[in-house]
Amino acid sequence: MRLMLRAGAFVVLAYLMNACASSGMSSLEAVSDFDADFAFDEVQRLAILPIDRTSAAEKLISDMQVDRINKSLGIELQSRGYEIVSDRDAADVYLAWHLVTREKTDIRSYNAASAYNCWRCGPPVSDVSVRQYIEGTFIVDLIDPERNRSVWRSTIQSTLKSNPDPKDAEMNRAVAVKAVLAPFPPDSSAP
């Protein structure tokens, strides 16, 4: 079990951030929530927090992979006019992200009649298909430094590919980051 968890956590970055574009990553839609009382229009500077290395998934992500995700987040936010700062005291909000994986099983049963509808042609045929896959969730939180509470959260989910193509990794990370940050800043006039 520990080996499966280790393998799943190790590949989540490669799956979710590096290889899902060809399998529908570009069509990912984020689910988000936010604190309507927070002044998002005043946010100019963000500090990206280090990931929490106490969870099993984040323990197995390499520092290089963390840096690549942080860089992709920074590039996307800067392209929108935000400034990424390293000094937390200078930040209007903190950005924290997490990766969560779950091994899932898809079991499907297929029943088919015999090829010909005749007497003594044979019984109906049944087939069972079992497919194991990993579902990945990429979570991004924006945290109000004054209250030390999350004021915005966005998540994307995807079935993860088993053999990501490294040469497309940077582009696919950018697609994933763009998808998860799409609802930011939130429309505070929405109910």
pLDDT digit string (tens) for 116-137? 556 556 566 677 888 887 778 8
| pLDDT value of residue 113 | 56
| pLDDT value of residue 39 | 94
Between CA 23 and CA 25 the distance in angstroms is: 6
Between CA 174 and CA 72 the distance in angstroms is: 6
**Positive/negative CA dihedral, 8, 11, 130, 102:** positive
Q: Give the residues of the chain that fall short of pLDDT 70.
A: 1-26, 53-60, 111-125, 160-164, 188-191
Task: Check residue 37 and give left, alpha or beta (phi > 0: left; psi -120 to 50: alpha).
Answer: alpha
Between CA 77 and CA 92 the distance in angstroms is: 14
| pLDDT value of residue 22 | 43
Domain limits of the chain? 2-105+133-181
Between CA 9 and CA 55 the distance in angstroms is: 10
**Sheet order of strands, 93-112 included:** 31-34, 149-159, 125-144, 93-112, 45-48, 83-84
CATH number 1.10.10 given to 2-105+133-181: no
CA–CA distance from 25 to each of 137, 138, 143, 164 (Å)?
12, 12, 26, 12
SS3 149: strand
Between CA 58 and CA 8 the distance in angstroms is: 11
| pLDDT value of residue 104 | 80
